[in-house]
Amino acid sequence: MIEVRKHFPSLAEGRPGAGTVFFDGAAGTQICARSIDRMNEAMLDDNANFGGFFETSQRAGELVTKTRAALADFFHANDAREIVFGQNMTTLTLAMARTFGRRLQTGDELLLTRMDHDANVAPWLSLAEDRGLIVKWLDFSTETYDYELTQLDELLTPRTKLVAVNFASNVIGTINDVRSITAGAKAVGALVFVDAVQYAPHGVIDVQNIGCDFLVCSAYKFYGPHYGILWGKLDVLESLEPYKVRTAPAHAPDKFETGTKSREAIAGVLGAIEHLQSVGMAAIVEYEEILTRQLIAGLRTIKGVTIHGKGNGGRVPTLALTIQGKSPADVAMALARERINVWHGHNYGWEPVKRLGLLEAGGVVRVSLAQYNTAEEVDYFLERMAGLTASLR
Ligand SMILES: Cc1ncc(COP(=O)(O)O)c(C=O)c1O
């Protein structure tokens, strides 16, 4: 799997990033060569707005069609018209919440979770405030780090209109049973909005199998550019009335895509999907599991380190850590001096970090692995972490 590194130009000798340990993938990965090449090509050869009779415009349109088709495959979607592009996941979710709210009544209910990134919480809270909706909360266990699914029966009612959940947590790394949650939501007639931003780089997404109505992700988390993607069931998308200019198309997906789309970003998304396909998700999962096992086993031997999350299995390679007697910011700063990139703080996981009781204490150190990381990098990180905590021995 180490060969994969050659597909990431930013890691090459002579570049500023060479020699840096990028354990910050959960906040944004390095970009793969295929994605960069696709973006370059699009900027050079497909540089026109959409809908013209001339060649550059036709090429730009074909690029969008091709990328939607690739994404439909990636999600196991039925129809390429189910793929909506937007600036990023947050922007897409804010717009969808506003649109969805047009059909809701005061007293309708939303089910949110204590594990989600704020981008799948705050848009729905704002909507609830605007529309007088009731918000209910699905908790997670701080022992198993799974959702408390036994609470679902009580939380879901005939007035529940939408359930917003994450496929994988950006803080504790849990992969959630979104299929069961969706089944419960469907039994009361609620729609389900899945945040797959953190899951997309690490596993196969099958929206048919999940049964959800919406699923969102962001290409910069899976080796592509900063661009958001929303998948929605075609009949649901068609039934919605987004805020849009009068001259925009009346049907999905275009009616949701405000203004001019970024053809270069769309090209980069295509490149990222092609890259993932060429490496193969099964190989990615297997490799990342090996690295994660090494990382967890090593961390468990270091005194003063707590992993807030599951052990091996049922997780993506994203770990939330605290280190006794040291603030997450200080640890991240010390690691940065060793050229190890990690994040610290709440990581926009306001709810989960609060639930863990760590908000006031500065959150967590977030260490996240990607397909280009190596066993040697994990060893180097563990060595430095042991050094940082040496005074605790
Ligand atoms: C789980 C999760 N959801 C949503 C987002 C927001 O994504 P975007 O930056 O595309 O708005 C992030 C970004 O870190 C995330 O990790």
Instruction: Please state, in angstroms and rounded to a whole number, the distance separating the CA atoms of residues 81 and 284.
Output: 28
Average pLDDT over the chain, rounded to an integer = 97
Asked if pLDDT for residue 91 goes beyond 60, the answer is yes
Q: Which of 24, 29, 89 to mutate to test the pocket of ligand 1 (most atoms within 8 A of CB)?
A: 89
Query: Residue 390 — very low, low, confident or very high, per pLDDT cuts 50/70/90?
Result: confident
Asked if pLDDT for residue 269 goes beyond 80, the answer is yes
Instruction: Read off the pLDDT of residues 342-356 as tens digits, 9 standing for 90 and up.
Output: 999 999 999 999 999
Tell me how long the chain is. 393
Q: CA angle 385-387-391, nearest 5°?
A: 115
Q: Topology of 2-33+281-392 in CATH?
A: Aspartate Aminotransferase, domain 1 (3.90.1150)
Token couple for 281: 């998700």
Distance 347 CA to ligand 1 centre (A): 10
For tokens 């807030």, the residue is 308
Token couple for 106: 């005061």
- Report H helices in 243-349: 263-279, 281-300, 328-337
Assess contact for 89 and 119: CB atoms under 8 A.
Answer: yes
For ligand 1, whether the C-beta of 195 sits within 6 Å is yes
Pairing of strands 109-113, 364-368: unpaired
Instruction: Read off the pLDDT of residues 190-230 as tens digits, 9 standing for 90 and up.
Output: 999 999 999 999 999 999 999 999 999 999 999 999 999 99
- Per-residue pLDDT, 142: 97
Residues 6+ apart with CB under 8 A from 194: 165, 166, 167, 178, 182, 210, 212, 214, 215, 216
- Per-residue pLDDT, 1: 63
- pTM (whole model) above 0.85: yes
Asked if pLDDT for residue 8 goes beyond 90, the answer is yes
Which atom of ligand 1 is the closest one to the Cα of 119?
A: 4
Architecture of the structural domain at 35-277? 3-Layer(aba) Sandwich (3.40)
Assess contact for 308 and 364: CB atoms under 8 A.
Answer: yes
Neighbours of 119 (CB within 10 A): 23
Distance 352 CA to ligand 1 centre (A): 14
Token couple for 22: 């990028």
Q: State phi, psi for 35 to the nearest 5 degrees.
A: -70, -45
Distance 297 CA to ligand 1 centre (A): 28
- Per-residue pLDDT, 352: 98
Assess contact for 199 and 316: CB atoms under 8 A.
Answer: yes
Mean pLDDT, range 301-328, rounded to an integer: 96
- Per-residue pLDDT, 312: 86
Asked if pLDDT for residue 392 goes beyond 80, the answer is no
Q: Which of 96, 218, 226 to mutate to test the pocket of ligand 1 (most atoms within 8 A of CB)?
A: 218
CATH 3.90.1150.10 residue window(s) in the chain: 2-33+281-392
Share in percent of the chain as helix, strand, coil (round to 5): 45, 15, 40
For ligand 1, whether the C-beta of 368 sits within 6 Å is no
- Per-residue pLDDT, 391: 72
Token couple for 355: 């639930």
CATH 3.40.640.10 residue window(s) in the chain: 35-277
Query: Residue 389 — very low, low, confident or very high, per pLDDT cuts 50/70/90?
Result: confident
Residues 6+ apart with CB under 8 A from 15: 9
Rg of the chain taking only CA atoms, in angstroms: 21
